[in-house]
């Protein structure tokens, strides 16, 4: 017998939690909504896993960071879902989806039917074993996506006190994990193929600051090469990392952050895809009737830039979930909601640093402010200029007001003064907009 719900959210991550809150706000009857998640816990703020979850002192733990505390909202504990009559179906992996029959089948053989499905399956990690890297199955090689992964890494950090870690990848995971491992007194070496860290977003000027700051904190950085193999000890635990350039690094722990991949495999051939994600309209509706996709898996119209994009960041996962639920509820009343008009917003924190970025990182760039890593209080930023307009802005160590000001610049896209003048004006340019 299939369990039947009016609405099913598939995935129990950030989007699912924010969607549930929006359903409750808009009105949902007990028994109408279910969240199905392979994780064993209610939706939580995933960004905590690479930050406070791994702190050496007073690490964050559930239930402390269930959604929606990450955006200053109410913390939704399992009891909240209970009170609202929202069914949390946890530790349940869906292994087959039949969008034509409107049904989902779990690994345990249960069938779930729905009228409306919200796909919120997020991303999974790319593994070194995917590229056949020799020895990549050794123990103590970690990836970080879910709370279970973070628990395993935390245990290893405790077990390998004062040990050595190699961090493979120079993106978000690489930078955040290197910092937190260092805080745990682990000797850290980062390895990445590019000429500078976080090339997806950072200019060489921005990266130069973080690389020097990390070096000052004692993080070793090896650029321009990749890990091609691992050796392990007689317990099967990783012992060495072999690099393509011939170097060999000792390691008690390896953390790999070489990118994410949207989890869309269940729906292949059943729903239209674009740019690696599930194609949606501005209401996160797919081309299949009654099926929506939100968060990391959605490729949606980014109105501000007139193109379809996929965004793998938490702010969008929250907002897209809310937009989809608003659209679903409005359509039931024969109404519509406004199109999603998203301003991309990314952020990261490590050591005592904190940056925010808004807009689009295309065109020419202007670096401003004090980006000397030796300064006692460095504060600097970058503007991106395209077709004579400022389209993106980055700021390290901004106050809330300053961050708001750069967000406004990215939204308003003011004409750019000449580059030298913009560099000179720096933040005061943003404050005037």
- Among ligand FDA, ligand NAD, none, residue 14 binds (CB under 5-8 Å by kind): ligand FDA
Quote the tokens at residue 190.
Answer: 């980062």
- Among ligand NAD, ligand FDA, none, residue 13 binds (CB under 5-8 Å by kind): ligand FDA
- Chain centroid to Cα 257, Å, comes to 12
Of residues 9, 28, 49, 241, which one binds ligand FDA by CB under 6 A? 49
- The rounded distance, in Å, linking the Cα atoms of 323 and 298 is 12
Of residues 11, 12, 17, 170, which one binds ligand NAD by CB under 6 A? 170
Which of the stretches 12-20, 68-76, 172-180, 412-420 binds ligand NAD when contact is defined by CB under 6 A? Answer: 172-180
Exposure string over 175-207, b if 16+ CB within 10 A, otherwise e: bbbbbbbbbbebbbbbbbeeebbbeebbbeebb
Which of the stretches 10-18, 181-189, 210-218, 383-391 binds ligand FDA when contact is defined by CB under 6 A? Answer: 10-18
Helix and strand counts by DSSP (H, E) for the chain? 9, 26
Quote the tokens at residue 108.
Answer: 């345990």
- Among ligand NAD, ligand FDA, none, residue 12 binds (CB under 5-8 Å by kind): ligand FDA
What DSSP letter does each residue of 203-234 carry, written as one string? -HHHHHHHHHHHHHTT-EEEES--EEEEEE-T
Please say whether the beta carbons of 357 and 347 come within 8 A. yes
Task: Quickly count: other Cβ atoms within 10 Å of residue 156's Cβ.
Answer: 21
Which of the stretches 7-15, 187-195, 206-214, 333-341 binds ligand FDA when contact is defined by CB under 6 A? Answer: 7-15
Q: Please, what is the minimum distance in Å from the beta carbon of residue 271 to ligand NAD? A: 21
- Residue number, 242 or 349, with CB nearest to ligand FDA: 349
Angle at CA 15, nearest 5°, toward 85 and 286? 100
- Chain centroid to Cα 348, Å, comes to 10
Q: Of residues 94-133, which lie at the interface with ligand NAD (CB under 6 A)?
A: 123
- Among ligand FDA, ligand NAD, none, residue 227 binds (CB under 5-8 Å by kind): ligand NAD
Quote the tokens at residue 253.
Answer: 């722990």
Q: Please, what is the minimum distance in Å from the beta carbon of residue 17 to ligand NAD? A: 17
Helix (H, G, I), strand (E, B) or coil at 305: helix
Of 260, 263, 298, 292, the C-alpha closest to 277 is: 298
- The rounded distance, in Å, linking the Cα atoms of 248 and 175 is 21
- Among ligand NAD, ligand FDA, none, residue 258 binds (CB under 5-8 Å by kind): ligand NAD
- The rounded distance, in Å, linking the Cα atoms of 279 and 430 is 34
Which of the stretches 273-281, 340-348, 391-399, 413-421 binds ligand FDA when contact is defined by CB under 6 A? Answer: 340-348
Of residues 4, 205, 308, 347, which one binds ligand FDA by CB under 6 A? 347
- Residue number, 86 or 278, with CB nearest to ligand NAD: 278
- The rounded distance, in Å, linking the Cα atoms of 328 and 428 is 42
Note whether 21 binds ligand FDA by CB under 6 A: no
Which of the stretches 14-22, 105-113, 251-259, 411-419 binds ligand NAD when contact is defined by CB under 6 A? Answer: 251-259
- Among ligand FDA, ligand NAD, none, residue 94 binds (CB under 5-8 Å by kind): ligand FDA
Q: Please, what is the minimum distance in Å from the beta carbon of residue 134 to ligand NAD? A: 13
Q: If you search the block for the tokens 């635990």, which residue do you land on?
A: 237
Quote the tokens at residue 75.
Answer: 């913390």
- The rounded distance, in Å, linking the Cα atoms of 181 and 221 is 14
Interstrand relation of 253-256 and 164-168 (parallel, antiparallel or unpaired): parallel
Q: Where do contacts with ligand NAD occur on this chain (CB under 6 A)? A: 50, 123, 168-174, 176, 191-194, 200, 226-227, 257-260, 312-313, 346, 348
Q: Where do contacts with ligand FDA occur on this chain (CB under 6 A)? A: 11-16, 36-39, 46-47, 49-50, 93-94, 120-123, 144-146, 263, 266, 295-296, 312-315, 317, 346-348
């Amino acid at each position: 017998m299939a369990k039947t719900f009016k609405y099913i959210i598939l995935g129990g991550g950030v989007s699912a939690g924010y969607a549930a809150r929006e359903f409750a706000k808009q009105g949902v009857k007990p028994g109408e909504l279910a969240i199905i998640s392979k994780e064993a816990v209610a939706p939580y703020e995933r960004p905590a896993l690479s930050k406070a979850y791994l702190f050496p002192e007073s690490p964050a733990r559930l239930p402390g960071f269930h959604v929606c505390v990450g955006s200053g909202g109410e913390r939704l504990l399992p009891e909240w879902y209970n009170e609202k009559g929202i069914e949390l179906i946890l530790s349940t992996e869906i292994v087959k989806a039949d969008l034509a029959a409107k049904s989902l089948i779990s690994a345990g053989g249960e069938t779930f039917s729905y009228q409306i499905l919200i796909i919120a399956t997020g991303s999974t990690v790319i593994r070194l074993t995917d590229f056949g890297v020799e020895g990549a199955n050794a123990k103590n090689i970690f990836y970080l996506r879910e709370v279970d992964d973070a628990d395993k890494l935390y245990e290893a950090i405790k077990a390998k006190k004062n040990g050595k870690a190699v961090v493979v990848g120079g993106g978000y995971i690489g930078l955040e994990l290197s910092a937190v491992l260092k805080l745990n007194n682990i000797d850290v070496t980062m390895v990445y193929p590019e000429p500078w860290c976080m090339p997806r977003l950072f200019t060489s000027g921005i990266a130069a600051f973080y690389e020097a700051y990390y070096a000052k904190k004692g993080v070793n950085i090896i650029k321009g090469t990749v890990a091609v193999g691992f050796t392990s000890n007689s317990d099967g635990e990783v012992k060495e990392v072999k690099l393509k350039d011939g170097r060999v690094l000792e390691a008690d722990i390896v953390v790999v952050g070489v990118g994410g991949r949207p989890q869309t495999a269940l729906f292949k051939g059943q729903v239209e895809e674009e740019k690696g994600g599930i194609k949606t309209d501005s209401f996160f509706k797919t081309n299949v009737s009654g099926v929506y996709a939100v968060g990391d898996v959605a490729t949606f119209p980014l109105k501000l830039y007139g193109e379809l994009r996929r965004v793998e960041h938490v702010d969008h996962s929250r907002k897209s979930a809310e937009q989809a639920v608003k659209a679903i509820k409005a359509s039931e009343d024969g109404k519509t909601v406004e199109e999603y008009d998203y301003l991309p917003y990314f952020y990261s924190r490590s050591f005592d640093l904190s940056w925010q970025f808004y807009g689009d990182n295309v065109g020419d760039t202007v670096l401003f402010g004090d980006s000397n890593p030796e300064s006692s209080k460095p504060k600097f930023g970058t503007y991106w200029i395209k077709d004579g307009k400022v389209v993106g802005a980055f700021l390290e160590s901004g106050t809330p007001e300053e961050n708001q000001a750069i967000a406004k610049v990215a939204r308003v896209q003011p004409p750019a003064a000449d580059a030298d003048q913009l560099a000179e004006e720096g933040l005061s340019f943003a404050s005037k907009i």
